[in-house]
């Protein structure tokens, strides 16, 4: 059964399934919090064949819960946010459904990111600064680990090598974990989903799949470079200088195409909480018909960083948040998000 009701803020006619009755959400037009009303059953005809209730009562099994990542409160699995602190639980970042394959317009993407930049500049800068501080802190810890491994050389050179490898691997994992968090942070920021600095440290559920996805992308990149490598080897063996240039060009072009085609795999994996192969396939679908637009947006990002670096480096404080917001906004448009930032909520 579908419940029909109107938003108390803007009057928009809304519909919700019966199982959402009594729950709170946001109006897709004005963003006001709305309570889904209970279904009106007064107009339903009485069932003449209805049986009397059983004299025996059965207590339903308790609903499974999971701890809130922020405050630790037990939250029922059916709830999307913690009743104590409001933290999102297993929140999906997409709104309006994942509908790739739509052609994006560069002007609309820039309009969206400009509005988002003006509304969220302070939070974007704060999130990036905390990210930099976290990376710096991890580097300090890794440096301490390296010094500790050097001290172990007096005991065993093998322990030194082993300790150095462990420290290096842990540093890579920690940086991947933080990179997941920064993606989550900026996706929530452009979608007005109560982004907070704590989102930087919520990447654990996606860490394993993100590592596998990056490994798969590396393998694919190497595979497409093989033909160009063969050409270069043959050119060196035959002494044909022109063929070396052809092989290098083939590697360069294939790498760019694959990088563009699969550049949204990790964000999509995080956004939809899907498996690696689905994320890779979705990225390819998202880029269909959008290569020129994405290349132009990448050029704009590089130009913004270049201009920011020219202003004594201080311009990067503005340029880097802008580029991150542009990256997240481009992804949001590619996966079927609303075409204007303000209309998205």
Reported as a single tens digit per residue, the pLDDT across 105-125 is 999 999 989 988 888 889 999
Most confident option among 10-19, 46-55, 154-163, 184-193: 184-193
The three-class DSSP label of residue 315 is: coil
Does residue 309 carry a pLDDT above 80?
yes
Reported as a single tens digit per residue, the pLDDT across 195-238 is 888 999 999 999 999 999 999 999 998 998 888 888 888 888 88
State the angle between helix axes of 276-287 and 207-238 in degrees (0 to 180), rounded to the nearest 10. 60
Task: Identify the pLDDT of residue 86.
Answer: 61
- Label residue 175 by pLDDT band (50, 70, 90): very high
The answer to whether the CB of 214 falls within 8 A of the CB of 176 is yes
CA 28 to chain centre: 21
Cβ contacts of 80 within 8 Å, gap of 6 or more: 88, 89, 90, 91
Percentage of the chain with pLDDT > 90? 30
Q: Which residue has the higher pLDDT, 39 or 249?
A: 249
* C-alpha dihedral sign at 65, 66, 68, 72: positive
Beta bridge partners of 337: none
* C-alpha dihedral sign at 195, 67, 169, 260: negative
Count of beta carbons in the 10 Å neighbourhood of residue 81:
16
Does residue 166 carry a pLDDT above 80?
yes
Name the pTM for this structure.
0.66
Percentage of the chain with pLDDT > 70? 80
Cβ contacts of 58 within 8 Å, gap of 6 or more: none
- Label residue 67 by pLDDT band (50, 70, 90): low
Q: Which residue has the higher pLDDT, 24 or 292?
A: 292
Nearest to 195 by CA among 208, 181, 205, 206: 181
- CA dist 34 and 342 (Å) reads 19
Q: Which residue has the higher pLDDT, 136 or 7?
A: 136
Nearest to 103 by CA among 294, 327, 322, 298: 294
Strands 65-67 and 2-6, by their bridges, are unpaired
Q: Which residue has the higher pLDDT, 96 or 205?
A: 205
Does residue 266 carry a pLDDT above 90?
yes
Does residue 30 carry a pLDDT above 70?
yes
Concatenating the DSSP letter of every residue in 72-141 gives --EEETT-SB-TTT--BSS----SS-----PPP-HHHHHHHHHHHHHHHHHHHHHHHHHHHHHHHHHHHH
* Ramachandran area for residue 86 (φ above 0: left; ψ -120 to 50: alpha; else beta): left
The answer to whether the CB of 247 falls within 8 A of the CB of 226 is no
Task: Identify the pLDDT of residue 89.
Answer: 52
Q: Which residue has the higher pLDDT, 235 or 301?
A: 301
| Cβ density class 113-133: b for 16+ within 10 Å, e for less | bebbbeebeeebeebbebbee
Beta bridge partners of 2: 17
| Cβ density class 312-329: b for 16+ within 10 Å, e for less | eeebbebbbbbbbbbbbb
The answer to whether the CB of 253 falls within 8 A of the CB of 263 is no
Q: In the chain, what are the domain boundaries?
A: 1-38, 106-344
- Label residue 46 by pLDDT band (50, 70, 90): low
Does residue 77 carry a pLDDT above 80?
no
Does residue 142 carry a pLDDT above 90?
no
Whole-number average pLDDT of the chain: 80
Task: Identify the pLDDT of residue 233.
Answer: 87
- CA dist 94 and 188 (Å) reads 9
């Amino acid at each position: 059964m579908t419940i029909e009701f109107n938003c108390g803020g803007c009057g928009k006619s809304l519909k919700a399934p019966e199982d959402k009755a009594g729950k709170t959400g946001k109006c897709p037009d004005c963003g006001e919090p709305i309570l889904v009303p209970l279904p009106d059953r007064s107009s339903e005809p009485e069932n003449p064949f209805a049986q009397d209730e059983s004299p025996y009562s059965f207590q339903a099994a308790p609903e499974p819960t999971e701890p809130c990542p922020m405050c630790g409160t037990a939250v029922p699995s059916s709830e999307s946010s913690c009743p104590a602190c409001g933290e999102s639980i297993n929140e999906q970042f997409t709104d309006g459904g994942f509908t790739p394959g739509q052609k994006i317009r560069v002007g609309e993407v820039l309009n969206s990111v400009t509005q988002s930049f003006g509304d969220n500049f302070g939070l974007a800068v704060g999130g990036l600064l905390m990210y930099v501080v976290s990376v710096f802190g991890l580097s300090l810890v890794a440096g301490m680990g390296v010094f500790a491994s050097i001290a172990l050389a007096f005991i065993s050179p093998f322990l030194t090598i082993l300790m150095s490898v462990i420290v290096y691997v842990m540093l890579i994992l920690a940086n991947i974990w933080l990179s997941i968090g920064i993606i989550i942070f900026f996706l929530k920021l452009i979608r007005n989903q109560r982004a907070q600095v704590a989102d930087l440290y919520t990447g654990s559920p996606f860490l394993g799949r993100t590592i596998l996805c990056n490994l798969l992308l590396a393998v694919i990149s190497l595979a497409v470079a093989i033909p160009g490598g063969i050409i270069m080897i043959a050119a060196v063996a035959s002494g044909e200088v022109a063929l070396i240039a052809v092989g290098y060009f083939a590697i360069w072009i294939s790498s760019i195409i694959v990088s563009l085609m699969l550049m949204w795999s990790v964000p999509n994996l995080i956004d939809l909480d899907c498996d690696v192969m689905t994320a890779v396939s979705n990225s390819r679908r998202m880029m269909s018909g959008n290569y020129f637009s994405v290349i132009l947006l990448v050029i704009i990002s590089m130009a913004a960083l270049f201009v920011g670096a020219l202003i004594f480096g201080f311009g990067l404080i503005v340029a880097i948040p802008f580029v991150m917001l542009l990256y997240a906004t481009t992804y949001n448009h590619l996966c079927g998000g609303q075409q204007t930032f303000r209309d998205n909520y």
